[in-house]
Each structure stands twice: as C-alpha cells, then as structure tokens.
C-alpha cells in the first residue's frame, strides 16, 4: 500500500518532465519582475486580507481537529467496541479495517458532491453543512453510539457520515484561492493550511491525556466536536466568493 501511495508522485514527475512551456510564455516570464517572497507573504496580513487570513486559518484548524483528534481514533474505537461485544482481537482488527473502509468511502462521496454543493449554495453554507455533519457525527457517535450495548453496527453508520463530513477539506482547494490575488495566493493557501497543524498537534495530546484520564476513547473524542461548533459560529464572518470574479 505504501508503494502504491507513492505512484502519483512518480506520475507528477513524468508529467513535469514531458511538458514544455511555449517560447512565448518563456519570453514573457523572463520580462516580468516578480515581487520578493517576503512581500508576497506579508501581503496576506495587509489590511485587505488579514481578516480573511485569520478566519481561514481558524477554519482549517477546526478541520484539522476533526481529522487528527477524531478520525485518527476510529480504528481504536472500533476495536474497543468489538472487544466489549466479545469478539476476538483478530475480529476486532478486521472490523477496524472495515470501519476505515467505510470512513474512506464516505469521504470520497463527500468530495465528489462538494463542488456541486458549493456552486449551488455558496462556499460558507456548504462548509457549514459539512461542519454540522462533523459536529453531530463526532458528538453523537463517540459520545452516545460508542457506549450503546450493541454499538458496532450503528457505529459503522456513524463512521460513514463522519467520512462524508471529513471531506470538508476539499472546500479549501476551491474557496481559499478565490479570496486572494495572484501575487499572494500561494502564500495564503500555504499559510492557512499549515499553521493550524501546530495547534492541532497540541489538541491531539490533549485528547490522549483525556483518554488516559477517562479510561475510554469515546468521551474525549466527543469533546472535540466543540471545535466544529466554534467553526459554525465563525463561518458567517468568512468571505463569500460564489459568483465573484477571481482576483487578478
């Protein structure tokens, strides 16, 4: 699986090797004066963009919390449920694999329908729907379904919904570039998608401490749903770009 996962990188290398830019493009590119990298980075904190940059970084942080503190614990949760219902360790591992497959299938479906939803209902409303689905899936799945007597079947259903909601990451590839001009678009995307990982890593440690404190996976992971509630409150302040011209 690791080797198969590296195949797309080889494909990208082949494409870059085989594609040649036109002579006209090379001439124009040589004549252009590109701003220093420092200027491109600082522009995302200019009065025009600083609010968008802060909000986008917070939205990404919310998504990262759901991914790292929620989805990462799915295999452990399934194995714990299976053991509680009397299955063997081998059976628990197999069910954990099934759970990961169900989660992945939901994510694929969520990514497929997200662009259509974003064009139909707007970027903020669509991301809000995905955040709401994540909130309900994590809070209800880990806070309630996880502790049911025969939880395995219902929990797999929750994992599918959690996977669909986890496709919220696909929104940022559409929404973030639409908010910035060409000269700082790459810097804005890189910063917003990266800075939240530092805080997300800390929250992962907090979830681990919560598991040790409560002696169970369910409650600590369920508490991470609070991040999505906060994200829903922040979404109305985001920049809606539906139908607008892409900044030059």
Give yes or no for residue 199 having a pLDDT over 90: no
Q: Which pLDDT score is estimated for 69?
A: 62
Q: Among candidates 105, 104, 122, 98, which has minimal Cα distance to 67?
A: 104
pLDDT tens column, 52-71? 999 999 999 999 988 876 67
Rounding to the nearest 10 degrees, give the CA dihedral for residues 194, 206, 134, 233. -80
Q: Over range 185-211, report the average pLDDT.
A: 86
pLDDT tens column, 112-170? 999 999 999 999 999 999 999 999 999 999 999 999 989 999 999 999 999 999 999 99
Give yes or no for residue 29 having a pLDDT over 90: no
Share of the chain above pLDDT 70, in %: 98
Q: Which pLDDT score is estimated for 215?
A: 83
Phi, psi of 246 (to 5 degrees): -65, 130
User: Up-side HSE of residue 128: CA atoms within 13 Å toward CB?
Assistant: 13
Q: Over range 174-184, report the average pLDDT.
A: 92
Q: What is the DSSP letter of 73?
A: G
- Whole-prediction pTM value? 0.86
Higher pLDDT, 98 or 201: 98
Domains of the chain: 35-237 (1.20.1250.20)
Give yes or no for residue 173 having a pLDDT over 70: yes
Cα three-residue angle 16-176-130, rounded to 5 degrees = 110
Q: Which pLDDT score is estimated for 151?
A: 92
Instruction: Give whichever of 7-11, 159-163, 211-215 has the largest mean pLDDT.
Output: 159-163
Give yes or no for residue 103 having a pLDDT over 90: yes
Q: Among candidates 143, 158, 159, 149, which has minimal Cα distance to 86?
A: 149
């Amino acid at each position: 699986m690791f080797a198969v996962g590296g195949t797309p990188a080889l494909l990208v290398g082949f494409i870059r090797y085989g594609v040649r830019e036109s002579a006209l493009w090379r001439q124009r590119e040589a004549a252009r004066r590109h701003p220093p990298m420092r200027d491109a980075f600082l522009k995302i904190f200019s009065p025009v963009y600083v609010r968008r940059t802060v909000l986008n970084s917070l939205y990404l942080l919310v998504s990262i919390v759901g991914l790292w503190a929620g989805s990462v614990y799915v295999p452990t949760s399934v194995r714990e449920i299976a053991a509680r219902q009397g299955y063997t360790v081998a059976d628990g591992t197999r069910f954990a694999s099934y759970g990961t497959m169900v989660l992945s299938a939901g994510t694929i479906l969520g990514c497929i329908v997200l662009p259509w939803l974003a064009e139909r209902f707007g970027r903020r409303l669509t991301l809000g729907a995905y955040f709401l689905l994540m909130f309900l899936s994590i809070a209800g799945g880990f806070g309630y379904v996880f502790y049911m007597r025969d939880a395995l079947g219902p929990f797999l259903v929750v994992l599918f919904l959690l996977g669909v909601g986890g496709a919220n990451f696909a929104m940022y590839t559409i929404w973030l570039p639409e908010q910035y001009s060409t000269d700082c678009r790459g810097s804005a995307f890189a910063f917003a998608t990266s800075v939240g990982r530092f805080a997300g890593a800390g929250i992962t440690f907090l979830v681990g401490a919560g598991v040790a404190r409560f002696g169970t996976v369910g409650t600590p992971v369920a508490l991470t749903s609070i991040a999505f509630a906060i994200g829903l409150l922040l979404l109305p302040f985001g920049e809606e770009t539906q139908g607008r011209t892409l900044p030059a």
